Amino acid sequence: MPIDSPAIPKVGFVSLGCPKALVDSEQILTQLRAEGYDTAKSYDGADLVIVNTCGFIDAAVQESLDAIGEALNENGKVIVTGCLGAKKDAQGDDIIQKVHPKVLAVTGPHALGEVMDAVHTHLPKPHAPFIDLVPAQGIKLTPKHYAYLKISEGCNHRCSFCIIPSMRGDLVSRPIADVMLEAENLFKAGVKELLVISQDTSAYGVDVKFRTGFWNGRPVKTHMTQLVGALGELASQYGAWVRLHYVYPYPHVDDVIPLMSDGSVVPYLDVPLQHAHPDVLKRMKRPANGEKNIERIQAWRKMCPDITIRSTFIAGFPGETEQEFQYLLDFLQEAQIDRLGCFAYSPVEGAAANDLADPVPEEVREERRARVMQLQETISRQRMQAKVGKTIRVLIDEVDRSGGGVGRSMADAPEIDGVVYVKAPYEPHLKLAAGEFVDVAVTAADAHDLWAKA
Ligand code: SF4
């Protein structure tokens, strides 16, 4: 039975105020898009409206209050952020709540996390595993030290199980100067880890014929390798990490591996392979399906022995024979992928794969998924065990009352990979803090997580 593709929730946005407020608005809009929300051009096309206010002078206060009133009248579901949100009247009461008690939530300026929390509460987005760029759990922006940087929208491929191109259109790359400016603003705002996302990061710039843009007074091409080089340079200035997601294994990806070996970007590649057997890949119409992925992975590991490879796979794609599935298991055994997700195939309404012959029964799809995960459990356990005794750098996400913390190493993307549990340090100068890096010695491992001491 086809699964209905969930409707994309639309958010309307009214941005008032100075350039600082504008940057806040851009960050909220970027985050909304990264999480898969759409923006609405009119009040009645929106499921919810965010008003970013100004509270500087009386005229600006009035303009903001009028804008909130209009959004409430026209739409009804309104979240308010910005300077006026933090302002109180002479009696010490919140101005906005007093004038417009029906608003759903009010935050002050620079409150990306709080605004997104309010959006998640009042307009939760259904998760679609074949469509979403971010995990089902959503992005928790508390801690706020990592951010997603979306470099393009849409996709030029036509994978037969996917409806993204029909929903979001062909690839549209953001200008490289805009991407770099956003990255710089995020680092300036304290982001310690930037996660580069798109539908196909390797294809960045194809639509604009790799047009030359400018950043920092010098020409930079709208091309994946030049973008990664520039991001790596910027991240080094701020002592931050850059992590690449959704990279297809085209030959030019080899050029970013040296940037991983020299520490400019995190040695981590999220390469969604989906299958290994050439015939299944052809039926899936996957990009780069002619590439020799085993050789490519081995070459990457040779260039950068510390690289972590993450991938996702689909088990039970229409027509998948037991022999083709076994081919996938053999590939996984040889490839020794570090982090792996596997979905049992689900037909998405509108996808071309629904018309393929020989659909695999649901119980077989599930059973094959379980076999992939069982094999991966053994591979992961061994690979994680090999880290015991090593010293690794960890970005702390949370600190508990005992002074211990939970963080992530370069091998762990937030929400989708494992974590590192760090014991409370004995020495007071080694106090753990959320959003800070710490070097730790790994003391134990299971198939997903590590335990360590500072
Ligand atoms: S590469 Fe394939 S799966 Fe990914 S967005 Fe494009 S069409 Fe969909």
Structure tokens at 305: 């022995």
Among residues 350, 352, 356, 32, the alpha carbon closest in space to that of 167 is found at 350
Predicted local confidence at residue 167, as pLDDT: 75
Among residues 287, 286, 219, 285, the alpha carbon closest in space to that of 253 is found at 287
Q: Which of 197, 199, 204 to mutate to test the pocket of ligand 1 (most atoms within 8 A of CB)?
A: 199
The pTM of the full predicted model, rounded to 2 decimals, is 0.71
**Size of the chain in residues:** 454
Cα 200 to middle of ligand 1, angstroms:
7
Q: What share of the chain is helix, strand, coil (3-state, %, to 5)?
A: 35, 20, 40
Structure tokens at 164: 């993204």
Cα 159 to middle of ligand 1, angstroms:
5
Cα 390 to middle of ligand 1, angstroms:
37
Q: Does residue 157's CB lie within 6 angstroms of at least one atom of ligand 1?
A: yes
Kindly give the number of the ligand 1 atom that is closest to the alpha carbon of 161: 3
The tens digit of pLDDT for each residue in 234-256 reads 999 999 999 999 999 888 899 99
Please state, in angstroms and rounded to a whole number, the distance separating the CA atoms of residues 454 and 436: 13
Q: Which residues contact 134 (CB under 8 A, 6 or more apart)?
A: 34, 35, 36, 148, 197, 415
Cα 163 to middle of ligand 1, angstroms:
8
Atom 2 of ligand 1 has which residue's CA nearest to it?
159
DSSP 289-330: TTS-HHHHHHHHHHH-TT-EEEEEEEES-TT--HHHHHHHHH
Question: Which stretch of 1-15, 73-87, 214-228 has the lowest confidence by average pLDDT?
Answer: 1-15
Band of residue 308 on the pLDDT scale cut at 50, 70, 90: very high
Q: Whose structure tokens read 């996400």?
A: 397
DSSP 119-137: HHHHSPPPP-TTT-SS-TT
Predicted local confidence at residue 415, as pLDDT: 84
CA-only gyration radius of the chain, Å: 23
The identity of residue 77, as a single letter, is K
Predicted local confidence at residue 25, as pLDDT: 84
The tens digit of pLDDT for each residue in 50-64 reads 999 887 667 778 899
Question: Which stretch of 93-107, 131-145, 167-181, 222-236 has the lowest confidence by average pLDDT?
Answer: 131-145
Cα 383 to middle of ligand 1, angstroms:
29
Atom 8 of ligand 1 has which residue's CA nearest to it?
162
Most confident of 73-82, 136-145, 146-155: 73-82
CA distances from 164 to 40, 133, 200 (A): 19, 11, 11
Cα 121 to middle of ligand 1, angstroms:
29
Q: Does residue 272's CB lie within 6 angstroms of at least one atom of ligand 1?
A: no
Band of residue 20 on the pLDDT scale cut at 50, 70, 90: low
Band of residue 6 on the pLDDT scale cut at 50, 70, 90: low
Q: Does residue 165's CB lie within 6 angstroms of at least one atom of ligand 1?
A: yes
Predicted local confidence at residue 37, as pLDDT: 83
Please state, in angstroms and rounded to a whole number, the distance separating the CA atoms of residues 84 and 104: 15
Q: Does residue 168's CB lie within 6 angstroms of at least one atom of ligand 1?
A: no
* Cβ atoms within 10 Å, residue 435: 18
Predicted local confidence at residue 377, as pLDDT: 96
Q: Is 327 left (phi over 0), alpha (psi -120 to 50) or beta?
A: alpha
Structure tokens at 333: 């055994």
Please state, in angstroms and rounded to a whole number, the distance separating the CA atoms of residues 265 and 415: 19
Band of residue 299 on the pLDDT scale cut at 50, 70, 90: very high
The identity of residue 337, as a single letter, is I
**Residue of 135 and 151 predicted with greater confidence:** 151
Q: What does the mean pLDDT of the chain come to?
A: 88
Residues 77, 48 contacting (CB under 8 angstroms): yes
**Residue of 124 and 308 predicted with greater confidence:** 308
What is the DSSP code (8-state) at residue 445? E
Structure tokens at 327: 């081919």
Q: Which of 151, 163, 200 to mutate to test the pocket of ligand 1 (most atoms within 8 A of CB)?
A: 200
The tens digit of pLDDT for each residue in 179-234 reads 998 899 888 888 999 999 988 999 999 999 999 999 888 999 999 999 999 999 99
The tens digit of pLDDT for each residue in 379-394 reads 999 999 999 999 999 9
Predicted local confidence at residue 291, as pLDDT: 67
The tens digit of pLDDT for each residue in 346-390 reads 887 788 998 898 999 999 999 999 999 999 999 999 999 999 999
Kindly give the number of the ligand 1 atom that is closest to the alpha carbon of 158: 7
Predicted local confidence at residue 19, as pLDDT: 59
Cα 166 to middle of ligand 1, angstroms:
10
Predicted local confidence at residue 55, as pLDDT: 76
Q: Which residues contact 326 (CB under 8 A, 6 or more apart)?
A: none
Atom 4 of ligand 1 has which residue's CA nearest to it?
199
Q: Which of 133, 150, 152, 159 to mutate to test the pocket of ligand 1 (most atoms within 8 A of CB)?
A: 159
Q: Does residue 288's CB lie within 6 angstroms of at least one atom of ligand 1?
A: no
Paired with 147 in beta bridges are 194
Residue 128 reports pLDDT greater than 70: no
Band of residue 433 on the pLDDT scale cut at 50, 70, 90: very high
The identity of residue 370, as a single letter, is A
Structure tokens at 27: 């960050």
Predicted local confidence at residue 132, as pLDDT: 56
How many angstroms separate the most distant Cα atoms in the chain? 76
Please state, in angstroms and rounded to a whole number, the distance separating the CA atoms of residues 204 and 221: 10
